[in-house]
Amino acid sequence: MDWDDLRIFLAVARAESLSRAGRVLRRDAATVGRRVAKLEGDLGQPLFTKSPQGYALTEVGSRLLAHVERAEQAVLSGVDELSGQSGRLSGQVRIGATDGCASYILPQVCAAIQKQHPDLELQIVALPRVINLSKREADMAITVSPPQTGRITVQKVTDYHLHLAAAKEYLADAPPLNTLEDLGVHPIVGYIQDMIFYPELDFLTGMGIERVALASNLVSVQLGMVRERGGVGITHDFILPFAPNLQRVLIDELSITRAFYLIRHEGDVRVERFARVAEALARGIRGEVARLEALA
């Protein structure tokens, strides 16, 4: 059986689409489809059911997937063992993260890791929703909510803190803001309620705030709204150094603590490249959060 055929099978199983798998493999969809058909012919059994929604694994395909993923891990482990003898890492690692971490923490951390390992390719995937590791949207992910199911490992990296903040120019002209009750006369900036994918990010419901005047599914956009004097919003302390015109308010009345978790495929624990990048990533995130929060 041709390993290249199995690699194509793996890509289609994860992407659930010939075209998406083709983009990952840098091959046209027709070629990917022919190779899948060849593999099914060699095995004498269908591996996928095709529909307008895409390619879904059959029961036989699901059984094959488990074996191919184990083979992939063995290949990766062997390559890393040989290439890692120099102490320097190489290859590609894709890191998924919520947009706040991806925009304000990971750039510095990943740049420092890559500087130590020039042959390493680090990719940051910023998504406002849950990263799907089983489909290999990423090799590892930083999340604010540890998954409860799946063949994964979960490691708490660090706590981080959030407070209400507003632009200094806004506060100079706005009504007094001395208690949480005073928020009722201020426009609130926050998440679009039906696009909150992590319950840990639903800050405002617990405060009894029902109306959000300015909303976005992205932290970076919310930050822009607050910076432009749009109102008062809950802001990460580690973001405040990037927005010097913002000022925390009602610090004693409201302080929120959340945590970052590093999640990985269970089998990747044995792959040196992933293990060492994960260790450096966790260490770097802890240090960068602490550094930026001290500046807030």
What's 41's domain CATH number? 1.10.10.10
pLDDT of residue 275: 86
Total number of residues shown for the chain: 296
The residue range of the domain holding 221 is 159-256
Predicted confidence (pLDDT) at residue 292 exceeds the cutoff of 90? yes
Are residues 153 and 184 both part of a single domain? no
Q: Give the domain-ending residue among 59, 82, 105.
A: 82
Percent of the chain residues past pLDDT 70, beyond the cut: 89
Classified as helix, coil or strand, 157 is strand
DSSP code, position 258: E
> Residue 64: which pLDDT band, with cuts at 50, 70 and 90?
confident
Residues 233 and 165 in one domain: yes
Residue-level pLDDT at 108: 97
pLDDT tier at 82, thresholds 50, 70, 90: low
Tens digit of pLDDT for each residue in 114-162?
999 999 999 999 986 766 766 667 889 999 988 766 678 899 999 999 9
Q: How many helices (H) and strands (E) does the chain have?
A: 9, 11
Whole-number Å distance between alpha carbons of 195 and 142: 19
pLDDT for 85 equals: 47
Cα–Cα distance, 101 to 133 (Å, whole number): 18
The residue among 82 and 229 whose pLDDT is bigger is: 229
Q: What is the pLDDT of residue 177?
A: 94
- Both 164 and 236 in a single domain? yes
Task: Give the pLDDT score at 51.
Answer: 86
Average pLDDT, the chain: 88
CATH number at residue 266: 3.40.190.10
Whether residues 171 and 238 fall in one domain: yes
pLDDT tens per residue across span 240-269 = 999 999 999 999 999 999 999 999 887 666
Cβ neighbours of residue 186 closer than 8 Å, sequence gap 6 or more: 166, 174, 175, 177, 231, 232
Q: How far is CA 193 from CA 82, 134, 204, in A?
A: 49, 27, 9
Confidence of residue 24 (pLDDT cuts 50, 70, 90): confident
Q: Answer yes or no: do 31 and 178 share one domain.
A: no
Considering the entire predicted model, what is its pTM?
A: 0.73
Structural domain count of the chain: 3
Greater pLDDT, 240 or 78: 240
